[in-house]
Amino acid sequence: MTYVATAIGYPYIGENREWKKSLEKFWKQEITEDDFVKQQKEIRLSRIEKQLQLGLNVVSVGDFTNYDRVLDTAAMFGLVPQRFNWQGGKVDLSTYYAMARGTKDAVACEMTKWFNTNYHYIVPEYEGQTLRVTENTLVKHFVEAKAAFDIIAKPTFIGPYTFIQLTKGYDRVSKASFVLALLPLYAQVIKELVAVGAEWVQLEEPALVTSLDKEEIQLVQEIYAQLATAVPEAKIMLQTYFESLFAYEQLIQLPVQGIGLDFVHGYQDNMNALRQHGFPADKVLAAGVINGRDIWRANLAEVNATVKAIEQLSDAKELWIQPSCHLQHAPITTKFETKLDDILRDALAFADEKVVEIAEVVAYLEGKESTAISESMKAIEALKNHPIRNNKTVQQAVQTIEQVDFERNTPFTERLTIQQKALQLPLFPTTTIGSFPQSDEVKQKRNAWRKGNLTPAEYNAFLEQETARWVAIQEELDIDVLVHGEFERTDMVEYFGEKLTGFAFTENAWVVSYGSRCVKPPIIYGDVALETPMTVKETVYAQSLTKRHVKGMLTGPVTILNWSFVRDDIERKDVTYQIALALRKEIEALEEAGISIIQVDEPALREGLPLRKEHWSAYLEWAVGAFKLATASVQDETQIHTHMCYCEFNDFIEPISALDADVISIETSRSHGELISSLQHNPYDKGIGLGVYDIHSPRVPSEKEMLTIMEDSLQVLARNQFWVNPDCGLKTRKEPETVAALANMVAAAKTLRQQIEQSV
C-alpha cells in the first residue's frame, strides 16, 4: 500500500494575521494594488513552504483567497450580478470587493454560514448571465508553486454540485440552463490545469454529505459523467467532508479517480458503508482521520487503528492521510501559546501540529519508529485528570435539572400584554443589537490596561465615559431601547469565557469568521461555572444615565458552545447545560438589579445542526432546552430577546418559536424578499426585530430603502410584533456611518408610525 500525507487545504491568514493586515491596508488605500498583490503572493508561497517543511507529500493550491473561496469561484466563472456594472473580462479587485462588501450604490451579495461551521461565505447570484472563465487563477497558482518549490501541487476548488447548491437566483426551470452553462467551464479549468502538469485536481463537494433526493443524486451522477467525458485525461479527487458521504453505494461509483471521506465527523456511517460496500479498487481513498475542526491533540494510537481498519475494509489502490476537512477552521500554530496551563498546552494541536500528526501517521504506517503515539496518549490522559475537569458541584447541578426548569411561568400571549403595560414602548420600537463601534482609542485603552500601562480605575473611568457618550448619542437619535455599547468586550464569546470557570484563552489562535474578520475562540477545557456577575455593573451604570430602557446583553449558551473550541471528553449537551446554568444566575442578577429587557443572543444556534435533517431533532432538543434553561426563571414583566444572523428562517421557524423568547431579531437586509416569502408560508406569532440594514457593509442605506423593507414586512407581521433594528452588532463599523445609518433607521420607523396613524 502506498501512503501519501496531504491536506485538503491550509489556513490563509498567516501566523500573525499578515493576510488580514495586508487586506485591510489595501481597503484603506494605505498600500497600492501592486503592493497588495505582491504581499498576497508572499503569504501564499510561505504557507506552501511551511507545509512541505512539516512533512506533507502533496500540498494544495487554490486553498488561498483574497476574501472568500466561493466568491473566487463565482468570479472565475463571471457570476457577477448586474448591479455591480461589471463590463466583462477579468473580474478586477474593485468589482470583487464590491460583491463582498457592497458600495454606495450597490448592496453586497448575501453572506451566510458555510455548512455547520462559524465561517460565512458570499452567496453566488445567478441572473441568467452569460458565463465564461474570466481567469484561471488555479493555473496561475499551480505554476507559481511549481516555479518556487519544484513541486506538482494539487489544485483544489469548490466542486460543481456544491457550487450549484450554494448559488441562488435560479428556479426549477432555469436550473438546467445554469448547470449546462457551468459544466463546460469546470471542464475548461480542469483541462487547462492538466495542460500545465497537474496530476490531480481536487473538487470539494461537502454538499454530498447532506441529504440528497433521487433527482439530486442523478444530477451528481450526470455532472461527473459529463466531466469524465469532457476531460478523460484528468485525475479527479472528489473531496467530501463535515459528515459521511450520502448514498455511498451509488456515489462511490462516480467516474473519478479518488474520493475523500471524513472519518472523524462521519466516522460511524463511513465505516459502516465500507463494511457493507467496500471501496473501488481502481480509486484512491483520501481518509480524513485527523480532526480539522478542533484544537485537540489526536490520540495517534486510535488514529492508526482507524487507518488500519480502513485499509482492511477497502480495496483502495492508494491511501491518502489527511485532516477531516480544510484546516481553515483551526488556528495556525501553538508555538505562540506561552501563557497556557502546561497540561492544556500539551494536549493542543492547531493546523501546523495537525500537519505533523498526519506526517507521523504516515511514518508509522511505513514502519518508521516514533514516540509520537505514546506522547499523545500521555498528554490526553493528563488533561483528563486535571482538577478543572472534576468539579463535582457543577456536574451534580446538571444531573439534577428538572423539566420545570425549562419553562416560563406564563404563556407568551399573556406575557405580551403584561410587558406592553410595563415597558410602555411605542409602535415599531427601535433598538440596536448590542455593540457600538470600537474606535482605535477603545482598542488602545484596552491594550494599555491589559499590559498594565493603565490602572483598572483609569480603564473603568474611560469605559464609563464612552458608555455615557453613546447613551447620549442614542437618546439624541431617539432610539427607544438603548444598549450600553459593550466597549469592555473584545468578542461576544471571549468576554464571557474570561469570567466563567472552565475556559482558557490563547494569545494568537485566530480563525476567519468572514472576509478579513478574525476571531480567537476560547477553549472550554473544564467544568463551567459562574462565580461573580459578569455584566451587571456596566448595564446598571448605563441605565442610571437614562429614563429609557437599557437592555442587558448576554451571549447564549449554544453560541458560547459553538463559537468555542469545546472539550471532547463529555457530551456537548452537558457542556451547554453547564453554561446555561451559569447564564441563568447572571440573568437573575440583571433582573434583580432592575433591568427589564435582557437579550440572550443565539446567532450560532442553527450552525450546530447536523447537516442531515433526519438528525436535527436530537440536537434541537438539547440546544433549545439550553436557551430555555438559561432564560426561563425570569418574571413575566421581564422581556427576553434573542438575536440570530444569516439564519434560513423558513426551515427553522419551529425551533425559533420553541425558544419562547419574547422578541427575536434577525437579518433581513440582504435577503428581505426571502424572509417575507417565508413568513407568508410560516407565520410567526412572537415579537420579531427585522434587521433592516446590513452592518457588514460600510454603505449607509437611505431612509426610503429601510422603509421599503418595513412596509413589505407589514404584509406578514402584526404591528405589535414588529421591532426595528440593524441586522447585527455595530462593533466593526465607523462612528459617522453608524450614526448616519441609525438616524435613517429611526426616521423610517417614525414615518411608518405616521402612516399607520393616518390610516386609522
* Dihedral sign (CA 409, 395, 615, 123): positive
Domain count, the chain: 2
Sign, CA dihedral 573-575-577-583, equals negative
Local structure of 671: helix, strand or coil? coil
Phi-psi label, residue 605: left if phi above 0, alpha if psi -120 to 50, beta otherwise: alpha
Binding residues for 5-methyltetrahydropteroyltri-L-glutamate, as ranges, are 17-20, 113, 118, 517-518, 563, 607
Q: Beta-carbon neighbour count of residue 142 at 10 Å?
A: 24
Annotated active-site residue 326? The verdict is no
List the binding residues.
17-20, 113, 118, 433-435, 486, 517-518, 563, 601, 607, 643, 645, 667, 728
Q: How far apart are CA 651 and CA 669, in angstroms?
A: 19
378 lies in the same domain as 441:
no
Q: Which residues make up each annotated binding site for L-methionine?
A: 433-435, 486, 601
Q: What is the CA angle 532-537-541, rounded to 5?
A: 175
Torsion angle (degrees, nearest 10) of CA 200, 206, 211, 217: -30
Of 120, 265, 672, 696, the catalytic one is 696
Cβ 354 vs Cβ 50: under 8 Å: no
Element (H, E) at 319: strand 318-323
Instruction: Report d(CA 441, CA 492) in Å as an integer.
Output: 19
Q: Degrees (nearest 5) of the Cα angle 8, 13, 16?
A: 130
Distance in angstroms (rounded) separating the CA atoms of residues 99 and 86: 10
Classify residue 68 by its DSSP letter: -
Q: Is 396 found in the same domain as 376?
A: no
Looking at the structure, do residues 379 and 495 belong to the same domain, yes or no? no
The full DSSP string for 585-629 is HHHHHHHHTT--EEEEE-TTTGGGS-SSGGGHHHHHHHHHHHHHH
Q: Are 308 and 282 in contact (CB under 8 A)?
A: no
Q: Which helix (H) or strand (E) holds 442?
A: helix 440-450
Residues of the domain holding 657: 392-759
pLDDT for residue 390: 94
C-alpha distances out from residue 376 to 3, 12, 355, 369, Å: 22, 27, 15, 15
Long-range CB contacts for residues 75-78, cutoff 8 Å, separation at least 24: 75/99, 75/134, 76/133, 76/134, 76/135, 76/136, 76/137, 76/157, 76/189, 77/131, 77/132, 77/133, 77/134, 77/182, 77/185, 78/129, 78/130, 78/131, 78/132, 78/133, 78/134
Please list, in sequence order, all residues whose beta carbon lies within 8 angstroms of the beta carbon of residue 657, skipping any fewer than 6 positions away: 684, 685, 686
Residue 447 sits in the same domain as residue 379:
no
Cell digits of residue 414: 399573556
Tell me which of 385, 408, 425 is where a domain ends: 385
DSSP secondary-structure letter at 685? -
Q: What is the pLDDT of residue 247?
A: 97
Non-local (6+) Cβ contacts of 158 within 8 A are 69, 70, 73, 166, 203, 204
Binding-site residues from annotation for Zn(2+): 643, 645, 667, 728
pTM for the complete prediction? 0.89
Say whether both 574 and 713 belong to one domain: yes
Residues 380 and 413 in one domain: no
583 in Cβ contact with 632 (< 8 Å): no
Rounded to whole angstroms, the Cα distance separating 445 from 309 reads: 55
In this structure, the answer to whether residues 412 and 376 fall within a common structural domain is no
Q: Please give the Cα distance from 723 to 726 (Å, whole number).
A: 10
- Statement to judge: residues 360 and 460 lie in one domain: no
Quick one: 342 and 443 in the same domain?
Answer: no
In the prediction, which pLDDT does 370 show?
85
In the sheet that holds 523-524, the strands lie side by side as 503-504, 523-524, 565-566
**How many other C-beta atoms lie within 10 A of the C-beta of residue 427?**
12
**Which 3 state secondary structure label does DSSP give 297?**
coil
Task: Write the DSSP assignment of 76-140 as a string of letters.
Answer: HTT---GGG---SSS--HHHHHHHHH--SSSPPPPEEE-TTSS-EEEPPB-SSPPP-----HHHH
pLDDT profile of the chain (760 residues), mean per 10: 96 96 97 97 97 98 98 98 95 97 92 91 96 97 98 98 97 92 98 98 98 96 98 98 97 98 97 96 97 97 96 92 98 96 97 98 92 94 96 96 96 95 95 92 92 94 96 97 94 90 95 93 96 96 97 97 95 97 98 97 88 92 97 97 73 87 82 69 85 83 91 85 90 92 96 87
Kindly report the CATH number assigned to the domain that includes residue 174.
3.20.20.210
Q: What is the 3-state secondary structure (H, E, C) of 356-387?
A: HHHHHHHHHHCCCCCCHHHHHHHHHHHHHCCH
At 154 the three-state DSSP class reads strand
3-class DSSP state for residue 17?
A: coil
Specify the DSSP element, H or E, that contains 512: strand 511-514
Question: What would the DSSP string read from start to end of 182-233?
Answer: HHHHHHHHHHHHHHTT-S-EEEE-GGGGS---HHHHHHHHHHHHHHHHH-TT
Please state, as a whole number, how many other Cβ atoms lie within 10 Å of the Cβ of residue 500.
22
Q: Which three cell numbers stand for residue 592?
A: 434583580
**28 and 61 belong to one structural domain:** yes
Domain final position from 385, 417, 449: 385
Instruction: Tell me: do 441 and 371 sit in the same domain.
Output: no
CA distances from 526 to 163, 178, 320, 384 (A): 39, 50, 34, 9
User: Last residue of a domain, which of 355, 385, 415?
Assistant: 385
Q: What is the dihedral of CA 391, 394, 395, 400, to 10 degrees?
A: 150
Query: What is the structure's pLDDT at 606?
Result: 85
CA angle (192 as vertex; 187, 193 as ends), nearest 5? 100
353 and 440 both lie in a single domain: no
- Residue 102: how many other CB atoms lie within 10 Å: 21
DSSP code for 282: T
Other beta carbons within 10 Å of 692: 27
Q: Which residues of 351-370 are buried (b: 16+ CB within 10 A; e: fewer)?
A: bbbbbbbbbbbbbbbeeeee
Contacts of 722 (CB under 8 A, 6+ apart): 427, 428, 687, 688, 690, 710, 713, 714
